[in-house]
A = this chain, B = another copy of it.
Amino acid sequence: MVEPFSASSPQAVVLLSGGIDSATCAALAVRRGFQVHGLTVDYGQTHRVELEAATRIARHLELAGHHFLKLDLRAIARSALLGSEPIPKDRPAEARAGSIPPTYVPARNTILLSLALSLAESIGASDIFLGANVVDYSGYPDCRPEFLAAFEHLANLGTRAAVEGKCRFRVHAPLLFLTKGEIIRLGVACGLDYGLTVSCYDPTADGLSCGRCDSCQIRKKGFAEAGVPDPTPYADT
């Protein structure tokens, strides 16, 4: 059962997947003075070590709350991330650019934001943080600024709290225009331990990152670009 939260500092909900972007987003929201409630959705993703990572990050950042929700999208949606087709491996950066990858999950960010909105309204939070990024993931339509603005507009039309004038919902995507290297430098400056995060779409049974999926490749490049040692245990090195 969710109880309305009362505290002197403002509440925020952060979508926390366990990867670099959402962890950085949570660290940034904490740094900005919000009482942060993490929301982690187990939507049937094949890379389940992500969920354990989210728990570790929530503890590390001493979040005000961490909510888990199960929603098996495999019943309604198709995606490589849901096991419907193979996860692409060893794709060069050029192949990744400019087209929507098979790891796209239909309407995923619309679903995740709507769940974050429900939690935010229930606990009296006006601010929702999402680690969306257009630089590395230019292919995902639901990471674009016009999509996020449209969701914010929707949130303020479709909720009691907004319609009754009790709050105005804001969707924050502070990493939207940062490169992965810039995101990592920002997180390090906020004291975030990236050894707790997991990016791999297809980890081994032992929990090692494959090193070859799009997400591992972007992660490796990010640490190199940031000039920060990569703490990730990769299976391919």
Contacts and interface: CB of A to CB of B under 8 A. Distances in A.
Interface of A: 1-2, 4, 39, 67-78, 84, 100, 104-111, 113-115, 117-119, 121-122, 141-142, 144, 146-147, 150-151, 153-155, 157-164
Q: Give chain A's interface secondary structure class.
A: helix
A57 to B, nearest CB: 19
Contacts of A70: 70-72
B154 A122 contact: no
A82 to B, nearest CB: 9
Given A72-B70, A110-B114, A141 B159 contact: yes
Number of this chain's copies in the complex? 2
Contacts of A107: 114-115, 117-118, 121, 155, 158-159
Contacts of A119: 76-77, 106
B69 A72 contact: yes
What are the 10 A-B residue pairs with the smallest beta carbon separation, nearest first? Answer: A106-B121, A107-B118, A142-B158, A76-B119, A110-B114, A141-B163, A107-B117, A111-B114, A106-B118, A150-B154
A157 B147 contact: yes
B151 A154 contact: yes
B164 A158 contact: no
Nearest to A71: B71
